[in-house]
């Protein structure tokens, strides 16, 4: 019986079969229980001998079952571990990654160019006073040129700035009339325009201002020429045309040379081979004076440009609204690897 039982234990190939063996040999209806139950019928001499033998056999079988059980349990753990192994050699699933917005990239590119020429980057408030947005820039109340920039007024004295030029006056005031100023200021501006391919009620400007002793128009031209060549390529020329701004005298508009072409994405260069990219000029003596600088000692130049327009010309973007609608199909084209 013992030999037979141990063989069965050995043969059991899983925990279930092992349990069956236990029930068959050690269970209530099993042969050993039966032997022990029949002890009463045995003689006095036989009882201890048979009892001891039966118990020994039972123990042997139970031991064998127990041993086999630990083997099965160990196998079970092995199996689980194997199933849960992570294959570190599998290629990962790529997570979609973003990148800087085209507008952010172009603003940073322009900032870097001017930082390289010794300008510092400043900021100013988007909700501006009438004083800084107009008055301090030689645009007193009732000045006809106020209409050049239709404004969003909040109160009679507060408005959303229509340009970054108020930061000129703010910076000069802050620095205090006896030190040079050399700064650029990027930021959002607002105008009451109907949105279309070339107009937006909110867009971006980058202001530039350089005030020192003996700053001349040729300095402005030199800085802008360097800027244009850095952004658009060394083969580009610039030209300055006379213009009008109340806060600069003389005032200019700057064009860059471009190749005249026809067809898709080519509509950005005019037939003349020149395209306008910014406005500027020599800071008006009144503006210097109001900001605490003596125009007999100090002079300066200022300019203002729209980075959206710069990016549109550089990359052939034909609708300014692409900058604000954030279609990733558009934006992804401009992510540098």
Q: Which residues bind ligand PHE (CB under 6 A)?
A: 163, 165, 207, 245, 248, 279-281, 302-304
C-alpha distances (whole Å) from 248 to each of 150, 326, 327 are 20, 36, 39
Place of tokens 């109160």: 155
Minimal distance, residue 205 CB to ligand PHE, in Å: 6
CB of 89 to ligand PHE, least distance (A): 59
Residue 331: count of CB within 10 angstroms of its CB: 18
**Which CB sits closer to ligand PHE, 6 or 277?**
277
Cβ-based neighbour number of residue 139 at 10 Å: 21
Residue with Cβ nearer ligand PHE (288 or 302): 302
b/e map 147-172, b = 16+ CB within 10 Å: eebebeeeeeeebbbbbbbbbbbbbb
133/317 with CB nearer ligand PHE: 133
Nearer to ligand PHE, 304 or 307 (CB): 304
CB nearer to ligand PHE: pick between 165 and 299: 165
Q: How far is the CB of 87 from ligand PHE (least distance, A)?
A: 60
What single string gives the DSSP state of each residue in 224-270?
HHHHHHHHH-TT--EEEEEEEETTEEEEEEEEEE-----STT-TTS-
Q: What is the DSSP string of 84-97?
A: T---TTSPPPPPP-
**8 A C-beta contact, residue 202 and residue 318:** no
The CA distance from 158 to 152, in Å, is 9
Closest approach of Cβ 232 to ligand PHE, in Å?
19
What is d(CA 306, CA 312) in angstroms, rounded to the nearest whole number?
10
Q: Which two tokens stand for residue 150?
A: 């239709």
Q: Please, what is the minimum distance in Å from the beta carbon of residue 213 to ligand PHE? A: 20
Q: Residue 328 CB, nearest distance to ligand PHE (Å)? A: 31
Report the residue number whose CB is nearest to ligand PHE: 304
- Residue 305 CB, nearest approach to ligand PHE (Å): 8
Nearer to ligand PHE, 21 or 137 (CB): 137
Helices (H), 116-177: 130-133, 166-175
Residue closer to ligand PHE, measured from CB, 30 or 187: 187
Whether 226 and 204 have beta carbons less than 8 Å apart is answered as no
120 half-sphere exposure, CB direction, 13 A CA radius: 10
Residue 210 main-chain phi, psi, to 5 deg: -135, 115
Shortest distance, CB of residue 266 to ligand PHE, whole angstroms?
26
Of 250 and 292, nearer to ligand PHE (C-beta) is 250
* Residue 78 annotated in ligand binding: no
Residues of the binding site: 249
Residues of the binding site for Mg(2+): 249
């Amino acid at each position: 019986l013992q030999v037979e039982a141990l063989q069965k234990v050995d043969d059991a190939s899983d925990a279930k079969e092992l349990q069956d063996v236990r029930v068959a040999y050690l269970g209530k209806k099993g042969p050993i229980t039966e032997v022990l139950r029949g002890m009463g019928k045995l003689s006095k001499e036989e009882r201890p001998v048979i009892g001891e033998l039966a118990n020994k056999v039972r123990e042997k079988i139970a031991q064998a079952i127990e041993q086999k059980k630990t083997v099965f349990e160990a196998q079970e753990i092995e199996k689980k571990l194997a199933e849960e192994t992570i294959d570190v050699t599998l290629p990962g699933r790529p997570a979609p990654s973003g990148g800087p917005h085209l507008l952010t990239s172009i603003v940073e590119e322009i900032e870097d160019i001017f930082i390289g020429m010794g300008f510092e980057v400043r900021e100013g408030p988007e909700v501006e006073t009438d004083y800084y947005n107009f008055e301090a820039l030689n645009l007193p109340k009732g000045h006809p040129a106020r209409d050049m920039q239709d404004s969003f007024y909040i109160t009679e004295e507060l408005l959303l700035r229509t340009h970054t030029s108020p930061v000129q006056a703010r910076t000069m005031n802050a620095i205090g009339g006896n030190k040079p100023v050399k700064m650029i200021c990027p930021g959002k501006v607002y105008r009451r325009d109907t949105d279309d391919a070339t107009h937006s009620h909110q867009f971006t400007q980058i202001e530039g201002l350089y005030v020192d002793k003996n700053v001349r128009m040729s300095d402005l031209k030199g800085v802008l020429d360097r800027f244009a060549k850095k952004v658009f390529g060394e083969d580009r020329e610039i030209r300055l045309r006379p213009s009008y701004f109340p806060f600069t005298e003389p005032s200019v508009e700057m064009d860059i040379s471009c190749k005249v072409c026809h067809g898709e994405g080519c509509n950005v260069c005019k037939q003349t081979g020149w395209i306008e990219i910014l406005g500027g000029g020599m800071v008006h003596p009144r503006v210097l004076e109001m900001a605490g600088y003596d125009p007999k000692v100090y002079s300066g130049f200022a300019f203002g440009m729209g980075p959206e327009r710069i990016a549109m010309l550089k990359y052939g973007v034909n609708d300014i609204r692409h900058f604000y609608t954030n279609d990733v199909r558009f934006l992804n084209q401009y992510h540098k690897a």
